[in-house]
Structure 1
Amino acid sequence: MYMTDLIFRSQDTFIPELNDSNSPAFKERVLLVIAEIEPIYKKKYPSSFIRVLVKRFSQGSIITETQLVFNSTAQIPTVQEVLDTLLSAVLQGGADPLKILPASISVNGSVIATTTVAASTSTVAALTTSSSGLKIESSLLQITWLFIMAKILRGCL
């Protein structure tokens, strides 16, 4: 088995019960994370993805720390591919119940970088991952919000 760390921040409000792995709130949140994250990776990596393990939740809205488990005998995605998979799903509304902040996604310590690109008559914003060149166009308001959140999160982490 190959395991990779996946951490993300949600817009939901952290409650102290999420510190207790025996509490109903913790168990409900674990089920929500599994229900939202596993289908994303099973669809993209059907022969190698096994499951997601939720390690803990911490304060800062809700910071979710997980491990993705892959079959090491099949082709294992790179850190960048793992990051791009969740980022793409989040930006396309694929994990809406978790309210994941796109700029907060981290895989084994790698995070996304945001850039703004100017077009001829209007400004178009692009969210670009650091090595794959994956570009997902978004509105100027969204990218501005993401940029601000990234600055805030960098100050908190």
Structure 2
Amino acid sequence: MDLTFRSTSVPNNTQIATVLVDASSNITAFNIDTTSVSVDGAGPVTTQAVEATANHETSTAEIMKTTTAPTTTAAATTKPATFICLIAVLFRVTTPPTVALTTKVVTFRSTQDTFTPDLQNSSSAAFMNRASLIKRQIEPLYQRQFPSSFNSLDLVSFRSGSIINTMNLRFVDTSVPDNNQIQNVLIGAASNVTDFDIESSSISVNSASSITATHKISLLTAASLGLFPWLLTSQQLLL
């Protein structure tokens, strides 16, 4: 990656690397090998030339630069250019393993809520708002109860009567809790949820079909990332 700072206030390499290392635990789309993070600073540059070659096998980069001093004429004086400092940050993206998941279909009834036709449309605001509401309150309960096996929760559909809520719960294939354990989490939550209600007697867990899926995370796979700096345009200098 290229990070660009004003030359008057460039953080040191440790500060730059720390930001990336600290962020690694919150990134979900890919993994960062924190031991591979390195920072390579280059001096002030102007738009005259910034050239680099990236070597993916060794994760090194060279930056060639030239600096042009501001010029003045008898008629007018040009303000000094604000130089840009280009920092190269290299890190390695690791590949998480493919995880096989089992999906449990769970339904429950909310007797105090009123069904509206737009809840049948998964693209409607009503559907998305209710799905977000239920997911926000129920998903953490399963995460705490089954920390080593629970993967995710998604709302699938809403039906009338008053509202019948259907959701998919995904667990790691090798340690799926039984139906009673899954059901008991909702029963225990019934007295604590505030924005919707759960009729305990209506809770159903589908164990017959036990849908199995392979969960493949979209990954960036590379032994390392090289540096690809681009020529700075004239807009990157404040005249």
User: Do they superpose with TM above 0.5?
Assistant: yes
2:196 alignment partner in structure 1:
98
Instruction: Indicate the structure with greater helix content.
Output: 1
CA contact (8 A) 1:36 1:98 kept: no
> CA deviation digits over 1:95-120, x for unaligned, max 9?
2322111111111179xxxxxxxxxx
* Equivalent residue for 1:69, pick from 143, 149, 170: 170
> CA deviation digits over 1:66-93, x for unaligned, max 9?
11011113x21101110111112213x1
* Equivalent residue for 2:129, pick from 7, 10, 28: 28
* Matches of 2:169 and 2:103, distance apart in 1: 5
Q: Which segments of 5 or more consecutive residues in structure 2 lack a partner in the other structure?
A: 1-100, 209-239
| Structure 1 vs Structure 2 CA RMSD | 1.6
Alignment of 1:121-136 (within 5 A): none
Alignment of 1:103-142 (within 5 A): 103-108=201-206
CA contact (8 A) 2:179 2:207 kept: no
2:79 alignment partner in structure 1:
none
One-letter amino acid of the counterpart of residue 34, structure 1: K
* Matches of 1:109 and 1:64, distance apart in 2: 17
How many residues matched? 107
1:146 alignment partner in structure 2:
none
Instruction: Indicate the structure with greater strand content.
Output: 2
One-letter amino acid of the counterpart of residue 84, structure 1: N
Is residue 83 of structure 1 aligned with residue 183 of structure 2?
Answer: yes
Structure 1 segments (4+ residues) deviating >4 Å: none
> Percent of aligned pairs with the same residue?
37
Q: Which segments of 5 or more consecutive residues in structure 1 lack a partner in the other structure?
A: 111-157
Q: Relative contact order, CA 8 A, sep 6+: which one is greater?
A: 2
CA contact (8 A) 2:115 2:162 kept: yes
2:107 alignment partner in structure 1:
7
* Matches of 1:23 and 1:16, distance apart in 2: 10
TM-score w.r.t. length of structure 1: 0.64
Per the alignment, in what secondary structure is the counterpart of residue 113 of structure 2? coil
* Matches of 1:77 and 1:96, distance apart in 2: 26
TM-score w.r.t. length of structure 2: 0.43
